Amino acid sequence: MQEFIYHDLYANEDKLWRSVSTRNMLFEFWKKYRLAIPPLCQGRCYDIFELGPGAGATLQFFNKYGKVSGLDTSKLSQQYCLARGISNVMVSNAKTFPLKSKSFDLCLAVDVIEHIESPQQAINELYRVCRPGGLVMMVIPAFQFLWSDRDVRLDHYHRYTTKEIRILVGNAGFEVLKLSYINFFYFPILWSLVKIKKGRLKTDVATVPGFLNWVLLKFLDVETSLLKRVYFPLGCSTLLVAKRP
């Protein structure tokens, strides 16, 4: 991912509608599926790992609930995470993690898999470092027909269908608990923008004025509530929750 994206994320993702709603969604599904022990409420109970923490907002969010670690390919990520008080972020490639096997109760990969040329290797590594009974949670851009020049600028290799994701995580050994398209409500908007602009989108970090930011956040919070009970057939991204048996 290009350097200016890290700068934009760090400046905006604490309040940015999509970033905030994604963290809320991940937390809700973690509460639903997490290990029965230890309890959530007291102290640093869980070992939590994020592949590709970017500017660090998700790790900072989960830092309240466990001991967090991260791995990113960029030193900028390490620097921004440190600015947020997260010191345990290493710089490495995503092919072989310099981490012990069966080390983490929760592994996160938020808008990361699409940046990896060989995603099966990274998902195999997530399986290796995840403890038996632990969870992996991923958010991945959906549908190759939504491909735009924004994907090119963000150094994406591919946008995925739920079928492709199910195959990748199944090959690694994970048991799928929840797999659905998300961002259903603004799928028609993105599809229209891609078609009207013929695949050219100028926005990398989708900032909007304050009131619209609030409205979009509320729409996605409603979607999260619905997602606990249903599966969406379309969306701009996908949500995966899977368990290592």
Q: Which domain holds residue 193?
A: 3-243
pLDDT of residue 183: 95
Average pLDDT, rounded, for the chain: 91
List, for residues 3-28, the tens digit of each pLDDT value. 878 898 999 999 999 999 999 999 99
Q: How confident is the model at residue 228 (pLDDT cuts 50, 70, 90)?
A: very high
pLDDT of residue 41: 45
pLDDT of residue 204: 67
What ranges in the chain are assigned the alpha helix state H? Answer: 3-12, 17-33, 57-62, 75-83, 119-129, 149-153, 162-172, 187-196, 210-227
What percent of the chain shows pLDDT beyond 90?
Answer: 77
**Taking residues 180-197, what's their average pLDDT?**
89
Q: Which CATH number do you get for residue 48?
A: 3.40.50.150
List, for residues 96-155, the tens digit of each pLDDT value. 999 999 999 999 999 999 999 999 999 999 999 999 999 999 999 999 999 998 899 899
Please state the domain count of the chain.
1
Number of other CB atoms surrounding residue 158 within 10 Å: 16
The yes-or-no verdict on residue 37 having pLDDT over 70 is: no
Total-model pTM:
0.93
Single-letter code of the amino acid located at 205: V
Eight-state DSSP code of residue 41: S
Measured CA to CA, the distance from residue 110 to residue 210 in angstroms comes to 24
pLDDT of residue 2: 76
DSSP 203-238: -SS----HHHHHHHHHHHHHHHHHHTT--BS--SEE
Angle at 21 between CA 123 and CA 110, to 5 degrees: 15
The answer to whether the peptide bond before residue 38 is cis (omega within 30 degrees of 0) is yes
Eight-state DSSP code of residue 160: B
**Taking residues 168-190, what's their average pLDDT?**
95
List, for residues 56-86, the tens digit of each pLDDT value. 999 999 998 889 999 999 999 999 999 999 9
Eight-state DSSP code of residue 177: E
Single-letter code of the amino acid located at 114: E
- List 90's β-bridge partners, or say none: 71
